[in-house]
Amino acid sequence: MFENKHVLVAGGTSGINLGIAMGFAKAGAKLSVFSRKQEKVDAAVAALSEAGPKAHGGIADVRQPEQVKDAIAAAVQAQGPIDVLVSGAAGNFLAPAVAMSPNAFGTVVGIDLNGTFHVLRYAFDHLTKPGACIINVSAPQAWIPMMAQAHVCAAKAGVDMLTKTLAMEWGPAGVRVNSLVPGPIDGTEGMARLLVDKSKKDALAKTVPLGRLGQVEDCADVALFLASDAARYVSGVVLPVDGGWSLAGATLAMGQMMGG
């Protein structure tokens, strides 16, 4: 379905982002990924190239605009104009606001929000126009205030507003921009960091209206839908992939995750 399409996933070397990249690779797309650590890039490129066409990997910290610009240019050189751009680099730790230094707060805002801007800003000139699709990977914290997550809440709210603003600015060029919002996804670094009391995993799953934790494939399938022609008239949406969790169980779930 995505044969000869170039899908660039910023931060696509682990977790949900790698799962999304794998979904596109299996659907025939040419992948590019970049992140901070060479060994993670090498492992991701090997796995993606086994699942689909030869993938390209680069090194960049999304907080560094010049690194992002160069990594995107190298990806375009290797794989051609970008048909689908997934921006998913993120950072997280549990900390009350009073325990955070300005640098701690700024680090997460720098990765999640500024990083998203850098990726989208420098990819824009290389997007297939009309027709390109951008997917920002956000989080329920964007609209659900959560304890010990002030940095993430602020950053992800900004990401979703970038999604909506750029859907308006870039729509006339034929570029769609949407946010995909993973809920509690099993086996991810986000869950490992936030689910402090691992014995509460089953209890957390019970707070999901659909009765289970998500899988990375649940996110990948929705990313494929958003990038497909079936979603050609969908832009500026913030789409939870969470089994209904953000409607019904988030407050309770966070209490459990933090051992309360």
Spatial CA neighbour of 180 closest among 255, 231, 130: 231
Query: x/- string (CB under 6 A) for ligand HXC, residues 15-54?
Result: ----------------------------------------
Three-state secondary-structure class, residue 135:
strand
Question: Is residue 250 a contact residue for ligand HXC (CB under 6 A)?
Answer: no
Question: Is residue 240 a contact residue for ligand HXC (CB under 6 A)?
Answer: no
Tokens of 65: 């605009």
Spatial CA neighbour of 109 closest among 155, 64, 156: 155
Per DSSP bridges, beta strands 84-87 and 56-59 are unpaired
Nearer to ligand HXC, 95 or 231 (CB): 95
- Within a 10 A sphere around the Cβ of 102, how many other Cβ atoms? 7
Closest approach of ligand HXC to the CB of residue 147, in Å: 13
Buried residues in 136-147 as b, exposed as e (16+ CB within 10 A): bbbbbbbbbebe
Give the CB-nearest residue to ligand HXC: 91
> Please, which of residues 135-154 interact with ligand HXC by CB under 6 A?
139-140, 152
> Please, which of residues 176-195 interact with ligand HXC by CB under 6 A?
184, 189-190, 193-194
Question: Is residue 215 a contact residue for ligand HXC (CB under 6 A)?
Answer: no
Tokens of 196: 């402090």
Question: Is residue 97 a contact residue for ligand HXC (CB under 6 A)?
Answer: no
Residues that bind ligand HXC (CB under 6 A): 90-93, 95, 99-101, 103-104, 107-108, 139-140, 152, 184, 189-190, 193-194
